């Protein structure tokens, strides 16, 4: 039995016997010759089968049998004629290099087809089907080469990030996703039954990645699911998402966290551009740009003034930047600095969590930032407050009961280094990198307020 060859490797293979496996993309069933485009996880190839009819004479010859009468003489032709799009099969035949073949410059003259699983003849989605319907049939939608590329890009991006972390002596952690209390806001918690009591799905690994700092780990990272009970139906929200988190000890300010963050982004984008840049340009019409460092940094109050000068006023002065404000400040940064990224810094303590460290000379501001990429916020980072007495007072300022935070506060009662970190949404980064309109496209299986399947 000939060993399976991935389609992407056919161009480098020598002419001769070959076996490929995949699913049927298209069938052209002509009178004299049949063509099948077979696709696998790596690419597509043309399979060719000259009909036995071609060997028997012409259609004008009364002695030439009709195609239906050739079944016994050409059973392979009947198999090909019956193929439906999506059928998974193994094809064996003779590989031939031919520069006239548009699809990869190779084709396979068929000897045999072994069907692994036939597909229903009518598919429920097409190229122009809306995103919600495509999500119903996501396993079919993912067969599209563009979608395959998205998740190969995701793999390269995550690998580059992990490589950066490992080479810089970070420790990978796996934090629990069942929690006894909220890590941020109770308003966004999913509550689940837990034996005789209640548990909550983790909104982030915030408390646990901070715990690693007094544990003496120094630098940690995690790529894992997070859950938000947020009933938003926007193009950039999900109830379950993949969070990219890092936390580091012995920092002087949030500037150290931003420096780590931008270095990580550069490492990931460099790897994606080198490995997939040409494919991304061909599939999405997007040229991946590796950002220069340092990224622009603009205090939030100044960013709001800039946006107002551009003709848009953020509705509430004491609130975060809204989506239109993010788009406007990103446009300004692109025009002024030629950059796709901007750190918005120095957020008001009134709109930040109790554990963000406040400015030494202005307790109304925090050592924190949001990272905006192509007009959308992808991450929040900060220096954390590590002094337990200050933490308690800041929790009280937020209307929280310190008694409900005892397990968290205990982390800091036996000494803790100055530390900080960030959390970042993986699907958002991919969505904005590839200039796609919706993070449903860059999420393997999307979960939202009305979607729990497939």
**What's the length of the chain?**
454
Is 325 marked within a binding site?
A: no
Contact call for residues 391 and 196 (beta carbons, < 8 A): no
Q: Give the separation between CA 258 and CA 246, rounded to whole angstroms.
A: 11
Is 440 marked within a binding site?
A: no
* Residue that is written with structure tokens 């002695």 in the block: 63
Pairing of strands 43-50, 16-29: unpaired
Q: Give the separation between CA 77 and CA 56, rounded to whole angstroms.
A: 14
Helix, strand, coil % (nearest 5) of the chain? Answer: 35, 25, 40
Structure tokens at 397: 């300022």
Q: How far apart are the first and last CA of the chain?
A: 37
Structure tokens at 350: 């009134």
Residue 20, strand partner residues? 91
Is 377 marked within a binding site?
A: yes
Q: Give the separation between CA 68 and CA 78, rounded to whole angstroms.
A: 9
Contacts of 116 (CB under 8 A, 6+ apart): 21, 88, 89, 90
Is 384 marked within a binding site?
A: yes
**Side by side, which strands form the sheet with 197-201?**
178-179, 197-201, 191-194
Is 324 marked within a binding site?
A: no
Q: Give the separation between CA 292 and CA 341, rounded to whole angstroms.
A: 9
Is 387 marked within a binding site?
A: no
Is 110 marked within a binding site?
A: no
Structure tokens at 97: 């290099």
Is 239 marked within a binding site?
A: no
Is 87 marked within a binding site?
A: no
Per the annotation, binding residues for ATP are: 377, 425-428
Per the annotation, binding residues for L-aspartate are: 184, 228, 380, 384
Per the annotation, binding residues are: 184, 228, 377, 380, 384, 425-428
């Amino acid at each position: 039995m000939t060993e399976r060859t991935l389609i992407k490797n056919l161009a480098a293979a020598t002419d001769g016997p070959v076996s490929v496996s995949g699913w049927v993309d298209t069938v052209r069933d002509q009178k004299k010759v049949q063509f099948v485009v077979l696709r696998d996880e790596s690419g597509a190839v043309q399979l060719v089968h000259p009909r036995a009819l071609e060997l028997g004479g012409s259609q004008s010859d009364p002695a030439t049998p009709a195609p239906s009468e050739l079944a016994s003489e050409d059973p392979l032709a009947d198999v090909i004629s019956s193929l439906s799009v999506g059928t998974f099969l193994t094809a064996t035949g003779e590989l031939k290099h031919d520069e006239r073949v548009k699809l990869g410059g190779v084709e396979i003259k068929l000897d045999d087809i072994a069907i692994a699983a036939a597909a229903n003849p009518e598919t429920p989605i097409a190229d122009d089907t809306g995103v919600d319907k495509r999500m119903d049939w996501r396993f079919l939608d993912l067969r599209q080469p563009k979608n395959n590329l998205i998740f190969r890009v995701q793999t390269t991006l995550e690998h580059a990030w992990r490589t950066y972390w490992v080479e810089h002596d970070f420790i990978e952690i796996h934090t629990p996703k069942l929690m006894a209390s909220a890590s941020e806001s109770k308003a966004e918690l999913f509550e689940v039954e837990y034996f005789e009591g209640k548990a909550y799905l983790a909104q982030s690994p915030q408390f646990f990645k901070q715990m690693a700092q007094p544990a003496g780990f120094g630098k940690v990272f995690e790529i894992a699911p997070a859950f938000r009970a947020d009933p938003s139906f926007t193009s950039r929200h999900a109830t379950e998402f993949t969070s990219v988190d890092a936390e580091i000890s012995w920092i002087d300010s949030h500037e150290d966290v931003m420096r780590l963050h931008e270095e990580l982004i550069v490492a990931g984008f460099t790897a994606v551009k080198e490995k997939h840049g040409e494919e991304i340009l061909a599939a999405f019409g997007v040229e991946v740009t590796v950002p220069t460092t340092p990224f622009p940094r603009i205090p939030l109050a100044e960013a709001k003034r800039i946006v107002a000068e551009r003709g848009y006023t953020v509705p509430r002065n004491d609130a975060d930047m809204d989506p239109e404000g993010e788009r406007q400040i990103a446009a300004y940064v692109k025009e002024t600095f030629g950059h796709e990224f901007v750190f918005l810094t120095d957020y008001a303590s009134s709109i930040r969590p109790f554990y963000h460290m406040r400015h030494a000379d202005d307790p109304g501001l925090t050592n924190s930032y949001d990272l905006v990429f192509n007009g959308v916020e992808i991450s929040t980072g900060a220096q954390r407050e590590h002094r337990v007495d200050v933490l308690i007072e800041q929790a009280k300022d937020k209307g929280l009961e310190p008694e409900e935070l005892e397990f968290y506060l205990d982390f800091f009662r036996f000494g803790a280094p100055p530390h900080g970190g960030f959390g970042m949404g993986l699907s958002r980064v991919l969505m904005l990198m590839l200039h796609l309109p919706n993070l449903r496209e860059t999420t393997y299986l999307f979960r939202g307020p009305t979607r729990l399947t497939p």
